Amino acid sequence: MEGQRLHFDVIGLGIAPLDVSGILPRYPSLDEKTEFTQTSIHGGGPVPTAMVTLVRLGAKVSFVGKIGNDPNGVLVKEELEREGVNTSQLIIDPKAETSVAYIWIDGKSGKKTIALDRTSISALKPQELDREHITSGRFLHLDGRETEACLRAARWAREEGIRVVLDLGSLRPKLESILGLTDYLITSERFAQAYTGLIDPKKAAQALFQPHYQAVVITLGREGLAGLLTSYNHISTSFCGQGCRHHRSRGCLSRSLYLQSATGLEPGQGPEVLQWSSCLEVHQNWRKGGYPYQG
């Protein structure tokens, strides 16, 4: 790719919901009433969260997605812009309502139940993408939810030699096609187990690994991370138990993968990358939903 076409370190493409979160003293049974001990409303989504945290480490990023023409959409857009994320390709659908993720958090364990409401907004369409913008970064970061748009963007990236990061929390349609265009795969423990049928995260990471990958990493919540990173054809495995109890580690991990690629780590430094992302996760003091706290 010609140097003058590169404007961003990372282009992110995915859903942009508003996170409405609440902490419960204990998780209720069916047909039981309870009260939240704490609530918060912030922009959310795996890709926007990764973009915000990348900006905070000095990266120049842009987010591509779709929101509705409503107060929730205004909040999402303004929060991204306030953080320094470029939103020039954030589509505002005049007839839609912004997606909302309702997050219930068990105050004792930190485990969450999330229900995403996308009933009032359509998926981002391939024809709504701008190729010049999609290919204006060194990395393309996807969540796999907007399936057709993600495929189109990933193909453009591959044609231009741009590396693709796929951040998966659960199984998606046309997954094999997207995986075939991926360089860095970041998954949740639940996805890894469902896809491979393996309980052991190290074995699951090995089963997920494909020859064209630069990395496969499985996030394990409070247990940290497990994964395979390649550097100069060297594969290193790391497992670290210093992760975040609130399961928000994929944004930090994304930053570590970009760092690994950008700095050209020597063989054997893969474990340090994983350890760095897990430790950074603790210090970032993540919100329970929404973007991370700064500082």
Question: The domain spanning residue 85 has which CATH number?
Answer: 3.40.1190.20
- For residues 63-88, average pLDDT: 97
> Residues 51-66: pLDDT tens digits?
988 888 788 999 999 9
Residue 133 within any structural domain of the chain: yes
Mean of the per-residue pLDDT values for the chain?
Answer: 81
Half-sphere exposure of residue 261: CA atoms within 13 angstroms, side-chain side:
18
3-state class (DSSP) for residue 157: helix
Residue 35 within any structural domain of the chain: no
In this prediction, residue 267 has a pLDDT band, given cuts at 50, 70 and 90, of: very low
Residue 29 within any structural domain of the chain: no
C-alpha to C-alpha distances, 231 to 143, 170, 219, 228, 260, nearest whole angstrom: 24, 27, 20, 10, 9
DSSP characters over 177-196 = HHHTT-SEEEEEHHHHHHHH
Residue 135 within any structural domain of the chain: yes
Q: Residue 61: which of 45, 49, 74 has the closest Cα?
A: 49
In this prediction, residue 277 has a pLDDT band, given cuts at 50, 70 and 90, of: low
Contact 118, 99 (CB under 8 A): yes
From its phi and psi, is residue 174 left (phi > 0), alpha (psi between -120 and 50) or beta? left
Residue 36 within any structural domain of the chain: no
Tokens read off for 267: 């063989």
Residue 69 within any structural domain of the chain: yes
Residue 28 within any structural domain of the chain: no
Q: Residue 184: which of 203, 167, 205 has the closest Cα?
A: 167
Residue 291 within any structural domain of the chain: no
Look at residue 112 in the predicted model and tell me its pLDDT: 86
**pTM: predicted TM-score of the whole model, two decimal places:** 0.84
User: Number of structural domains, the chain?
Assistant: 1
Look at residue 34 in the predicted model and tell me its pLDDT: 92
- For residues 78-91, average pLDDT: 96
**Residue 63 is part of which domain span?**
3-16+44-96+122-284
Whether 74 shows a pLDDT value over 60: the answer reads yes
> Residues 237-262: pLDDT tens digits?
445 444 333 334 454 555 555 555 54
> Distance (Å, rounded) from C-alpha 125 to C-alpha 23?
35
Q: 24: which strand partners?
A: 106
Q: Residue 117: which of 130, 96, 102, 127 has the closest Cα?
A: 102
- For residues 265-279, average pLDDT: 49
Look at residue 5 in the predicted model and tell me its pLDDT: 59
Whether 270 shows a pLDDT value over 60: the answer reads no
Contacts for 268 with CB less than 8 Å, ≥ 6 apart: 231, 234, 236
In this prediction, residue 228 has a pLDDT band, given cuts at 50, 70 and 90, of: confident
Q: To 5 degrees, how large is the angle CA 43–CA 48–CA 53?
A: 100
Residue in the structure block whose two tokens are 């981002």: 124
> Distance (Å, rounded) from C-alpha 109 to C-alpha 15?
27
- For residues 189-213, average pLDDT: 91
For residue 172, how many other CB atoms are within 10 A of its CB?
A: 18
